[in-house]
């Protein structure tokens, strides 16, 4: 690892925005919301069917059915409250996923511009920390390989001056691929 990469401190940061990648987070939240809503509907219909079957077999329980029917508005209010809680929880969970994805997109752009010293640092508790480690290992390997090739090109052109034009051409080609090339 180079001195430049070692000197970069691990940045601890706090995101101030909950909705970082709105499209991804809204889809994720909708998936969770509708999954829970469908579960509520299925359980509610199953409960209604079971109670009506029991009342049909035992007519003495008709007052229980009437009592449950009178509580329907309360059940509806509770379901709305539960669904609001589900939305809030899904926003927090989607934030823990969307934040790292956003960070990886920015990091890929930085590396594509040529900064091979850049590393990804996620917050504690974020998802995708295994991907962070693999990404950083990959960039470190590419960084070391490019640096070794650059050093070899310099040594080769010094030892064999006839190789200098080829080494310069290779350096220019690298700069063409990564204009802000930084080792």
d(C-alpha 110, C-alpha 103), whole Å: 11
The residues, any chain, with a CB within 8 Å of residue 79's CB and separated by 6 or more, are 40
Between 11 and 174, the more confident residue is 174
CB 139 within 8 A of CB 1: no
Q: Which three-class secondary structure state does DSSP give residue 122?
A: coil
Give pTM, 2 decimals.
0.61
pLDDT digits (tens, 9 = 90+) for 146-173: 888 888 878 887 888 888 888 888 777 7
CB 142 within 8 A of CB 115: no
- Residue 115 pairs in a beta bridge with 182
d(C-alpha 73, C-alpha 93), whole Å: 30
CB 90 within 8 A of CB 34: no
Position 2 pLDDT exceeds 50:
no
pLDDT digits (tens, 9 = 90+) for 102-135: 899 999 998 888 888 899 998 887 788 899 999 9
CB 93 within 8 A of CB 120: no
The residue extents of the domains of the chain are 20-112, 113-183
Tokens 């007519």, located at residue: 59
d(C-alpha 64, C-alpha 70), whole Å: 10
CB 107 within 8 A of CB 115: no
């Amino acid at each position: 690892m180079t001195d430049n990469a070692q000197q970069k401190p691990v940045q601890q940061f706090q995101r101030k925005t909950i909705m970082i990648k709105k499209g991804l987070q809204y889809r994720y939240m909708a998936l969770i919301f509708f999954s829970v809503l469908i579960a509520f509907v299925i359980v509610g219909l199953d409960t209604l069917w079971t109670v009506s079957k029991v009342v049909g077999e035992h007519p003495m329980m008709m007052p229980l059915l009437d009592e449950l029917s009178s509580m329907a508005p309360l059940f509806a209010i509770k379901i709305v409250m539960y669904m609001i809680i589900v939305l809030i929880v899904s926003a927090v969970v989607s934030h823990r996923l969307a934040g790292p994805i956003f960070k990886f997109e920015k990091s890929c752009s930085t590396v594509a511009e040529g900064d091979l010293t850049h590393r990804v640092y996620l917050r504690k508790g974020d998802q995708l920390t295994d991907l962070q480690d693999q990404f950083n290992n990959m960039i470190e390997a590419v960084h070391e390989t490019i640096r070794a090739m650059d050093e070899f090109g310099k040594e080769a052109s010094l030892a064999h001056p006839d190789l200098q034009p080829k080494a310069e051409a290779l350096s220019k080609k690298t700069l063409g691929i990564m204009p802000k090339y930084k080792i």
